[in-house]
Structure 1
Amino acid sequence: MPLTETQARNSKPSDRAYKLADGEGLFLFVQPNGSKLWRMPLSTSTFFTHS
């Protein structure tokens, strides 16, 4: 289930950083200081093609 804009905007900081999954590997990382960062882990297969 994708993360909605409302859920992203309403996410509050807590004592520890946490992730809110959006699907397909994308997630919103909420830090204790209140900053919100979109993250997507990348693999080496994204950058290199095998021939």
Structure 2
Amino acid sequence: MALTDKQARSAKPSDKPYKLADTLSLYLLVKPNGFRIWYFKYRFEGKESGVSFGPYPETSFALVREKRNATRRVLKSGFTPSQQRRDEKRLSMN
């Protein structure tokens, strides 16, 4: 079940960080200081890794889900998000 804006806004800080799951390995991490940040967890070549997509509510649900989908497409093409950024940076310098 997808996370809703109401659930994300009403998430209260706890003694320990906790996750609010969205869909397809996307989650909102709620830290003890109340800071909330989007993360996407993935496996690549047997290793678990992740990428952050920005703080909530500055990064909207629609944008973060599109970023997740784009990252999944990159992974399916055989690259990690960091490899893609490195390649894009190299191309922009030329």
What's the TM-score once normalised by structure 1's chain length? 0.83
The structure with the greater share of residues assigned to helix is: 2
Runs of 5+ consecutive residues of structure 2 not aligned to the other structure: 46-74, 81-94
Task: Quote the sequence identity (%).
Answer: 48
Decide which structure has the larger Cα Rg and report it: 2
Answering whether residue 64 of structure 2 is matched by residue 37 of structure 1, we say no
Structure possessing the higher relative contact order (Cα contacts under 8 Å, 6 or more residues apart)? 1
Runs of 4+ in 1 over 6 A off after TM superposition: none
Taking the aligned partners of 1:37 and 1:2, their CA distance within structure 2 comes to: 16
- Unaligned 5+ runs, structure 1: none
Measure how far apart 1:41 and its partner are. Answer: 1.5
Task: Please tell me the root mean square deviation across aligned C-alpha atoms, in Å.
Answer: 1.4
